[in-house]
Amino acid sequence: MKKLYYAAFTYLVLGLLSGIFYREFTKGEGFTGQTVLGVAHTHILVLGFMFFLIVLVLAKVFQIHQRKGFKAWFIVYNIGLLGTIGTLIARGIFQVNGSDFKGLPHMAGLSHAIMGAGLVWLLIYLKKVIKD
């Protein structure tokens, strides 16, 4: 359960820092338009911080963190989430600078797919735990 707590705490810090980065980076660059940097803050807080707080409660109630496969799920979900966060921030920086990277949508799609697989995996895992 400590890993879940530390994950939630880490994503809280990342979410708050991304909000500060968004504000200061766009102000420093004199950028006034729309950018995905603004939604990175919310994505990190919801899909990282709040999500892991909910999983922490589930772990306390159902002891899911002690069952086989939980560590693998934890790694897969974090890889997907960190990839998604990375592509959001990269896209936002490119938008502010007026440039682009053609491979970014593919990387974002792969990260979303990994994170989606992690979400489905968690629900299947929870169904088995609740059944027992």
Q: What is the pLDDT of residue 131?
A: 86
Entry pTM: 0.92
| pLDDT of 132 over the 80 cut | no
**Per-residue pLDDT at 57 exceeds 90:** yes
pLDDT at res. 64: 86
Q: Which two tokens stand for residue 79?
A: 């890889």
3-class DSSP string for 29-44 = HCCCCCCCHHHHHHHH
Q: How many CA atoms are closer than 13 Å to the CA of 80, on its beta-carbon side?
A: 20
d(CA 114, CA 6) in angstroms, rounded, equals 21
Structure tokens that stand for 41 in this block: 């803050």
What's the rounded mean pLDDT across residues 35-49? 95
Structure confidence at residue 121 (pLDDT): 94
Helix (H, G, I), strand (E, B) or coil at 98: coil
Model confidence over 72-85: pLDDT tens digits?
999 999 999 999 99
What pLDDT score was predicted for residue 114? 98
Mean pLDDT for the chain overall: 94
For the cut 90, the answer to whether the pLDDT of residue 59 exceeds it is: yes
> Percent of the chain beyond pLDDT 70?
100
Mapped onto helix, strand or coil, the DSSP state of residue 90 is helix
Return the domain boundaries, the chain.
Answer: 2-131
